[in-house]
Amino acid sequence: MSAARQDLYREKYRPQYHFTARQWTVNVLNPDKQEEGWLNDPNGLIFLNGEYHLFAQRWAKCWIHAVSKDLIHWKEVQPAFWDDDRFGTGVQSGSTVYDTQNTSGLAHSTAHPALIAFWSGFDNMSQCISVSLDSGETWTKYDGNPLFLHPERDPKVFWYEPTGSWFMVLSCHGSYEFFSSYDLLHWTPTKCVIPNSYECPDIFRLPIEGDMNNQKWVLVRGDGSYSIGNFDGDSFVEETVQIRSDQGPNFYATMSWGDIPDHPGRRIQIAWMRGGLYPDMPFNQQMSFPCDLSLKQTACGVRMLRTPIPEVKCLHGDPTTLNDQVLTKSETITIPSYEGLLHLKLQLDVANEGAFEIEVFGTSVQFTSHTVACLSAPVALIEPLGKVEMLVDRTSIEVFVNDGEVSLSACFLPRTEEMIIRCLCGSVVIRDASIFPLRSIWIPD
């Protein structure tokens, strides 16, 4: 193993509070797919024994593995498991479960349950598992792989308590197909097929307005589009059309953590910020910042909101604040850039004919009273614009409007060193603003 770079995690374009991969045996720039330093789809997110586990693709070469106690400070450990030549030389995306009741019989006892990772071979047919008996430190591929042959990939497995059984959602040629099992090893197809669904499924329950007695199931596609409905232990029945959970240009392959002790109903989502550019860096691609998901009753029906997890506060420095600032056309306010790491919160009033932008180091995020755009077409809001929250890292911007009613995730390269709020027409009143500097999460080995 080669020595780590002296500037590991301090490189010019390395995000400082978004997860990125490191190199272990090489020190090379611009790594490509399957090479050390690359990452894509998040996989197998699970909370276990006080730690959050994040797995991610190195484009089917291996499952990258990182752990955190707070979802903020991550430590990347050695990859969980690697490809081989049995199933098309790849370990594609999937999910993990903690088999607390030892339904699989793969653990020696229920006192030390098996952590089981489900993944697909690169042949897009072989559905396989890897098993850990030490909470994810070491892994063994199951001797009975493949569990079954079925196109295509990305198995999402979850427990359904009312029937005491497991279910799998599998991406299959533009649809999602459901399978059931009582032991995680033998799977039976159900009659449930969800069309117009592609790659990286995620499925979970969320309470509406925080009411644990009033919950709905949410089915999320690879591009982050979701539908809300009910699952009865046999079929998922959609009650909405597909709705985009994030409408920025760099948001894909979402996955989530759930079943967190002392936090009933909490669901935390992360995504691959696909397509970012990091010239001459020893890493490639990044994850989005973790976001809490919730359901809210709106004028357009029940919708899923995304908001940055409150744990971000542990990175806050002392804020700069603004109150009751009125801007008219062409007037500007320059706000602290904090070396490209900041958390911005605004409460404002925008006249019906008003428009303004926040220029983030040369990239414009534009707002009107009813729309927002960040390197994207304008996105309509359900409610008039009242709150804006923004996370800025060295190469990413994440925008959250009206407490998560709309979110946009975008990658960028800085072209200037300034942060500017500029009124484009009409008027805007900044009732309250807090701009927090953020500390880096990286503590190199």
Active site residues: 41
- Cα–Cα distance for residue pair 342/337, rounded to 1 Å: 7
Extended beta strands in 225-383, E state? 225-231, 236-238, 243-244, 252-257, 268-272, 291-298, 301-308, 320-328, 332-335, 342-350, 355-360, 363-368, 371-374, 379-380
């002296």: which residue's tokens? Answer: 6
Check whether 416 has a pLDDT greater than 90. Answer: yes
Band (302; pLDDT cuts 50, 70, 90): very high
- Cα–Cα distance for residue pair 72/75, rounded to 1 Å: 10
Domain boundary among 254, 289, 310: 310
Please report, as a single letter, which amino acid is at residue 295.
L
Mean pLDDT of 285-289: 98
State whether 126 and 171 are in the same domain.
Answer: yes
Contact in structure between 99 and 184 (CB atoms under 8 Å): yes
Find the domain containing 62 and state its range.
42-310
Residue at 425 is within a domain: yes
* pLDDT score recorded for residue 444: 58
Model pLDDT for residues 29-65, shown as the tens digit of each residue: 999 999 999 999 999 999 999 999 999 999 999 999 9
State whether 269 and 392 are in the same domain.
Answer: no
What are the percentages of helix, strand and coil residues in the chain, rounded to 5? 5, 50, 50
Domain boundary among 255, 286, 310: 310
- Cα–Cα distance for residue pair 47/62, rounded to 1 Å: 21
CATH number at residue 174: 2.115.10.20
State whether 303 and 382 are in the same domain.
Answer: no
Threshold 0.85, pTM exceeds:
yes
Cα→Cα distances 281→28, 271, 434, Å: 8, 21, 32
Check whether 197 has a pLDDT greater than 80. Answer: yes
Residue 263's φ and ψ, nearest 5 degrees, are: -135, 65
Contact in structure between 53 and 46 (CB atoms under 8 Å): yes
Q: 223 Cβ partners below 8 Å, 6+ apart? A: 198, 244, 251, 252
Domain boundary among 310, 335, 351: 310
